Chains A and B, each alone.
Chain A
Amino acid sequence: MPLWVKAFAIIGIVLLLLIIVAAVFGDGQHGPGRHLGGDDDESDGTPHTPPPDHTPPPHALVPYRPSGQAPA
Chain B
Amino acid sequence: MMSPWLRKLVLIIHLTLSVGWVGAVAAYLTSDVTASTSEGVAELRAAYLSMQWMTWWVIVPLAFGSVATGLILSLGTPWGLFRHYWVVISLIATLFALVVLLLETRTIDAYAGIAADPTTSDARLRDLGGTLLHSVGGTVVLLVVLGLNVYKPKGLTKYGRRKRREERLS
| A residues apposed to B, CB below 8 Å | 1-2, 4-5, 8, 12, 31-32, 35-36, 44-50, 54, 56-57, 59-71
Contact = CB atoms under 8 A, between A and B. Distances in A.
Interface size, B (range): 35 or more
Contacts of B116: 61-65
A32 B109 contact: yes
List the 6 closest pairs (A to B, CB-CB), nearest first.
A67-B109, A60-B118, A32-B110, A56-B118, A2-B155, A32-B107
A48 B119 CA distance: 8
Given A50-B119, A59-B45, A71-B57, A65 B112 contact: yes
Q: What is the interface of chain B mostly: helix, strand, loop, or mixed?
A: helix
A64 B45 CA distance: 12
Interface of B: 41-42, 45-46, 49, 52-53, 56-57, 85, 89, 92, 103, 106-107, 109-119, 121-124, 127-128, 153-155
Q: What is the interface of chain A mostly: helix, strand, loop, or mixed?
A: loop
Contacts of B109: 32, 67-69
B85 A61 contact: no
21 contacts: A2-B154, A31-B106, A31-B107, A32-B107, A32-B110, A45-B123, A47-B121, A54-B119, A56-B118, A57-B118, A61-B46, A61-B49, A63-B116, A64-B117, A65-B112, A65-B116, A66-B113, A68-B106, A69-B109, A71-B53, A71-B56
